[in-house]
Copies of this chain bind each other. A is one copy, B any other.
Amino acid sequence: MMKLEDIAKLAGVSHSTVSRALAGSTLVNRATRERIEAIANDHGYQVNQVARNLKLQHTNTIGLIAPELSNPYYPKLIQCIADYVSAAGYSLQLHLSGKNQENEDKSLVNLRNNRVDGILLVTGEHGLMAAEYAAGLHKSGIPIVLMGWFPGADAFDFVTGDDADGARQIARHLLDLGHKNIAVIGKPVHRGPFDRTTAFINEIAQGGVVIDAANLYEITSEQDAILAVKQLLQTEPRPTAIFAYQDSIALVVCKELQAAGIRVPDDISVIGFDDLDMASYVSPALTTVGCHIDAMAKALVQRLTERITGETAAAEPVGVVVPTRLITRQSSGPAHDISS
């Protein structure tokens, strides 16, 4: 592949001059520059970024670590991130951790070795992250912005949706609809101040209704939701509403309910969280909470690029919380009468 030196020979100048010319420096004569540009163009010269990166001590590359792509939430987020990253003039190095802590670690050192300028870490819901881990992460010296919150995340810049508020909106919605017997199918609590389940239960309590412990289902995979539903259908009196931790669970729940002959929302209301595209396609269309994914992605890369360029003077990590909103569709309705 053609290099600076080759062009220099062709143009009868030194490689320094070629470098300057191609960079558009005013330090080189206009005529010379144009001649060099023409030659470089004719021969399809393309700068060797890796040499350039070595000299310049940066790579114009941002590393992105995300759990997976099979939950549609992530592609949506990554799409936005990719767009903002590329708009900011960076390339994206993508690593999928598969919700696996070890992989995440490997990706992190890989990214560091490759001297990416900054890292976006989407931790997902695996909750494996710990303060200790965070500390190790921290001294890598590379700017990192976290998507989501976990214990210890406060040591970093982070961006998260206001899931707690979203959960509260759902709670009020259900309360307004007259529901008094409500089930929660959720994942283990790990998001502290932003935890959906916790906020939901608290707000429900605020409305004067308590959720029976038996109606709290804690699952770790979408598949487990099926079991939860089966179990739930046995309880007496049967709940009139179900709050699912996320849309992907809510979808399974609806499907299972319908398979059992239960009508949604006539018999049981179901509410999800995330506002996946799919949520509006299924029938009944899912009532859920939307996350302004685009806004989050924007905040994420904005924060990171500011850290990279040093625009953000503050040494203090900052967290940005983007609002969520309830999206009422067909899967939620008034509580039906029950002969208690």
Contacts and interface: CB of A to CB of B under 8 A. Distances in A.
Interface of A: 1, 44, 46-51, 53-54, 59, 61, 68-70, 72, 74-76, 78-79, 82-83, 86, 91-96, 98, 109-110, 112-115, 139, 141, 251, 255, 258, 277-278, 281-283
B79 A69 contact: yes
B93 A48 contact: no
A91 B78 contact: no
A281 B283 contact: no
A205 B59 CA distance: 57
A68 B72 contact: no
A22 B283 CA distance: 59
Contacts of A78: 69
A139 B43 CA distance: 12
8 A-B pairs with least C-beta separation: A75-B75, A69-B79, A69-B75, A94-B94, A49-B113, A49-B114, A82-B96, A50-B53
A108 to B, nearest CB: 11
Contacts of A110: 91
A281 B251 contact: yes
Contacts of A54: 48, 50-51, 54
Given A1-B141, A48-B115, A74-B75, A83 B109 contact: no
A243 B227 CA distance: 36
Contacts of A76: 69-70
Contact of A79 (B44, B70, B86, B112): B70
Given A54-B54, A75-B75, A283-B282, A46 B109 contact: yes
Nearest to A64: B94
A95 B233 CA distance: 47
A198 to B, nearest CB: 29
Contacts of A251: 281
Contacts of A278: 278, 281
